[in-house]
Amino acid sequence: MKGKSFLALFVGVSSLVCAFPSAAQFAKPEAAVEYRQSALYLMGNHFGRIKAQLDVSKPDLDVIRSSAALIDVLKTLPFEAFLPGTEDIGDTAAKPEVWTDNERFKKLAHEMQDKVSALNAAAKSGDVGAIRTAFGETGKACKNCHEDFRKKR
Amino acid sequence: MKGKSFLALFVGVSSLVCAFPSAAQFAKPEAAVEYRQSALYLMGNHFGRIKAQLDVSKPDLDVIRSSAALIDVLKTLPFEAFLPGTEDIGDTAAKPEVWTDNERFKKLAHEMQDKVSALNAAAKSGDVGAIRTAFGETGKACKNCHEDFRKKR
C-alpha cells in the first residue's frame, strides 16, 4: 500500500508534463501553492529565530549563522511557484497583483534576496551590529512585498 | 496594519519560552507541525524532480545537483519539530509511534540522512548510474520510515 502511494507520487510528478505544461516541477497548481508556502514558512520561522537571538543580551551566533544560511538557500524557491494558473488556489494569500503587476513583484523579490545575502554575510562575520542592521533591512524588504502582494489574514 | 502583524509574528516567537518551553524555535505546537510538513514537502518535491530527470534519456545534471543539494540542507529540519506536545495537532500524518518508539524513529531518520548525503555526493560526481543507485536507496529509506511512522492518507 505504501509502495503504491510512493509510486503514485512519482507518477504524479512525471505526468505533469501533460497536466501543467508551464511547470514541470509541479504536478498540479495546488502543489505549487504548497511549495511556495512551505519555503516561505521555513524562511519566516528562521527569520524569527534570528530575531529571538537579537532580543537577548548574548545572541547565539551559531543559531544566527545557521538560520541566515538556510534563509539564503531558500530565498529564491518561493518565486519558482507563483506561476500562471496558481492564482486563487487553495488557501493562497497571494493577491492578484502578483500576476497583474508581476514586474514589481519580481523587483521586490530581488530586493529581498539581496538583503538576505547581506544578512547571511553579516551573520558569517559575527558582527552583531552588522547583523542587526541587515536583519532590519531584510525585515523591511519582506514587509514591502507583503504589503502589496499578500492578503491580510 | 501590516507593521502590526509583522511585529505580532516576532512577539509570538519571542514569547514562546513561556508557552512551549521545550521548543524555543516554535511559538506553539501548530507551528512545529507546519515546520516539519514544510521541510518534508520541499524534500519530497525535489526528490520528485530528481526522479523526473532519471526517467528521461538525457537527465539534466544541474537539476539533479541543485535538488540533491537542497534535500541535503533540509534533511535534518523535520526532526527538530517532532516534539512532545505536537502529537495529534492539526492535520499531522505522524503516527503515535513517532513518540512511543522514538528511538527507532530517530534511527530511520539517521539512515535517511546518510542516504541523502550519499545521493548528494553522487549528484556532485555527475555519474548517472551512481545517482540512480543512491536515489533508489534514498527512496527506500524514506519508505521505511513512512511505513511505520506516517499515517495512510
Give A71-103 as a DSSP string: HHHHTTGGGGS--TT-TT-TT--B-THHHHTHH
pLDDT value of residue B24: 73
Q: Pick the closest to residue A148 from A102, A91, A86 (CA basis).
A: A102
- Rounded to two decimals, the pTM is 0.86
- When CB atoms are compared, the residue of A9, A49, A77 closest to B44 is A9
User: How does DSSP classify residue B150?
Assistant: B
pLDDT value of residue A23: 58
Of residues A99 and A4, the one with the higher pLDDT is A99
Q: Is A23 strand, coil or helix?
A: coil
Give me the total of CB pairs closer than 8 Å, taking one residue from chain A and one from chain B. 89
- Between CA B107 and CA A49 the distance in angstroms is 27
Q: What is the pLDDT of residues A100-134, one digit of tens each?
A: 999 999 999 999 999 999 999 999 999 999 999 99
ipTM: 0.86
Q: What are the structural domain ranges in chain A?
A: 28-149
Question: Residue B65 has which C-alpha cell?
Answer: 545537483
- Between CA B55 and CA B46 the distance in angstroms is 14
Q: What is the pLDDT of residues B79-138, one digit of tens each?
A: 999 999 999 999 999 999 999 999 999 999 999 999 999 999 999 999 999 999 999 999
A chain contacts of residue B12, beta-carbon cutoff 8 Å: 48
Q: What is the pLDDT of residues A17-57, one digit of tens each?
A: 334 444 578 999 999 999 999 999 999 999 999 999 999 99
Question: Per the CATH hierarchy, to which homologous superfamily does domain B28-149 belong?
Answer: Cytochrome c/b562 (1.20.120.10)
Please check the confidence at residue A147 and state whether its pLDDT lies above 50.
yes
CA distance A97 to chain B (A): 17
Are residues A2 and B35, on separate chains, in Cβ contact within 8 Å?
Answer: no
Are residues A55 and B147, on separate chains, in Cβ contact within 8 Å?
Answer: no
Nearest-Cα residue of chain B relative to residue A38: B38
**Does residue A151 sit at the B interface (CB-CB below 8 Å)?**
no
